[in-house]
Amino acid sequence: MGLTLTTAGESHGPGLTCIVEGLPAGLELDQACIDADLARRQLGHGRGGRMKIESDRAEVTAGLRHGRTLGSPIALQVTNRDYANWEQRMNPWPVADEIEEVHLPRPGHADLVGVHKYGLTDVRNVLERASARETAARVAGGAVCKALLSAVGVEIRSHVIQVASVRAPAPSRPLTLEDFDAVDASPVRCLDATATDEMVAEIDALRKANESLGGVFEVQAFGCTPGLGSHVSWLERLDGRLAMALCSIQAVKGVTIGEAFDIAGVPGSQAHDEIFYSAERGYWRETNRSGGLEGGMTTGQPLIVCGAMKPLPTLTQPLRSVDIATHEPAQALRERTDSCTVPAAGVVAEAMVAFVLANAYREKFGGDHIDDVVGAVRAYEQRIQWRRQR
């Protein structure tokens, strides 16, 4: 028994839908927690004008009664407020007015390949679904997955460690849950105050130069039970699932787990997490270079994954392109855009990590009711004598 998370909807269409199937019955959901994550996705210095229009809120239309799941699919709807300005262009049904097609694909976007693949003549038929606006639905579904994880003792946090050329210094010690208490107060969701100021200045400078910016975010999951995932099949290896989930986020081009590229350049004696045992602590490690995963399975240490995000392909000073109707040189499509969304991408990545972990818990522990799930998890942790540490 596993989870599925499916989204539907276009950037400027009537709204976005997320369906999460496979949750146990009896799981308590909190409307405020779901909407809080949607609001966090809209945070970050460098966001564009659309954030002044949208004020995302998820409406649950199925699978929930009086705040508790029924065991049936959960359906969540996020309305696009901006649809009021796009109703003619994005109406699901034919309209009387002639709608001008878009013929100017953007380098770095799905535009050109999408129209070729699906036999289309209007780039808008591709770009609307390819837009990162779709991630609002993922964040809503991810918040539901977080509720399941919280019930079994798992909490997920994220922060930004790089924007363009500015990189925050590595922390002097392993991060704890408490270190993330004020992360959303930073305009770039960075834990280092000096780096925050430098990142803001970098965004301002490049935005004035009509540039967009990429960067790197990190997600940490605390309290994961050892043994989620499996070594027996490449399909079940959790590192592979996490990499796919994060790389599915628009503009994310690379994923690392643990220290990854750093340990690729050192001898093996400096690359692995040595194992210790004491009666008080059970098995434990002094380091977490593996990022909480060995052999495709969680180790019980904090799970640490990073995503590298390229600069956004919609630029206020468009790149060179070709008109797909005339084949003449032209500038790429220019639309309202953000200059930097790395802080928001970290929140989206939380949702994707939450889905992967919630799915792993469902596959391993099953259970038709949340009490069955919690009981199975606790029985397993007792069997392996794992001492939960935060």
CA distances from 66 to 29, 45, 60, 69 (A): 9, 37, 11, 9
Confidence at residue 47, expressed as pLDDT on a 0 to 100 scale: 73
Confidence at residue 334, expressed as pLDDT on a 0 to 100 scale: 83
Handedness of CA 262, 388, 184, 64 (dihedral sign): positive
pLDDT, average across residues 155-177 = 97
Domain ranges of the chain: 4-383
Would you say residue 324 has pLDDT above 70? Answer: yes
Taking only the tens place, the pLDDT of each residue in 184-241 is 999 999 999 999 999 999 999 999 999 999 999 999 999 999 999 999 999 999 999 9
Confidence at residue 297, expressed as pLDDT on a 0 to 100 scale: 98
pLDDT, average across residues 44-63 = 81
Taking only the tens place, the pLDDT of each residue in 254-264 is 999 999 999 99
Residues counted in the chain: 390
The residue whose two tokens read 């994220």 is 158
pLDDT, average across residues 103-119 = 97
pLDDT, average across residues 344-361 = 98
Phi, psi of 81 (to 5 degrees): -65, -30
Using alpha carbons only, how large is the chain's radius of gyration in Å?
22
pLDDT, average across residues 22-29 = 98
- Tell the burial category of 67 from Cβ atoms under 10 Å away from its Cβ (0-12, 13-18, 19+): exposed
pLDDT, average across residues 158-174 = 97
Mean pLDDT of the chain: 95
Q: Predicted confidence band at 336 (pLDDT cuts at 50, 70, 90)?
A: confident
Q: Residue type at 324?
A: I
Q: Residue type at 63?
A: G
Would you say residue 155 has pLDDT above 80? Answer: yes
Confidence at residue 390, expressed as pLDDT on a 0 to 100 scale: 52
Confidence at residue 51, expressed as pLDDT on a 0 to 100 scale: 57
pLDDT over 90, % of the chain: 92
Say how far residue 384 (Cα) sits from the centre of its chain: 31
Confidence at residue 71, expressed as pLDDT on a 0 to 100 scale: 98
Would you say residue 60 has pLDDT above 80? Answer: yes
Q: With left for phi above 0 and alpha for psi between -120 and 50, is residue 81 left, alpha or beta?
A: alpha
Would you say residue 46 has pLDDT above 90? Answer: no
CATH superfamily of 4-383: Chorismate synthase AroC (3.60.150.10)
Taking only the tens place, the pLDDT of each residue in 239-289 is 999 999 999 999 999 999 999 999 999 999 999 999 999 998 889 999 999
DSSP for 91-108, written as a single string:
-SS--SSPPPPP--PPTT
**Which tokens sit at 340?**
């930097």
Confidence at residue 52, expressed as pLDDT on a 0 to 100 scale: 59
Between CA 167 and CA 46 the distance in angstroms is 17
**Which tokens sit at 34?**
């779901």
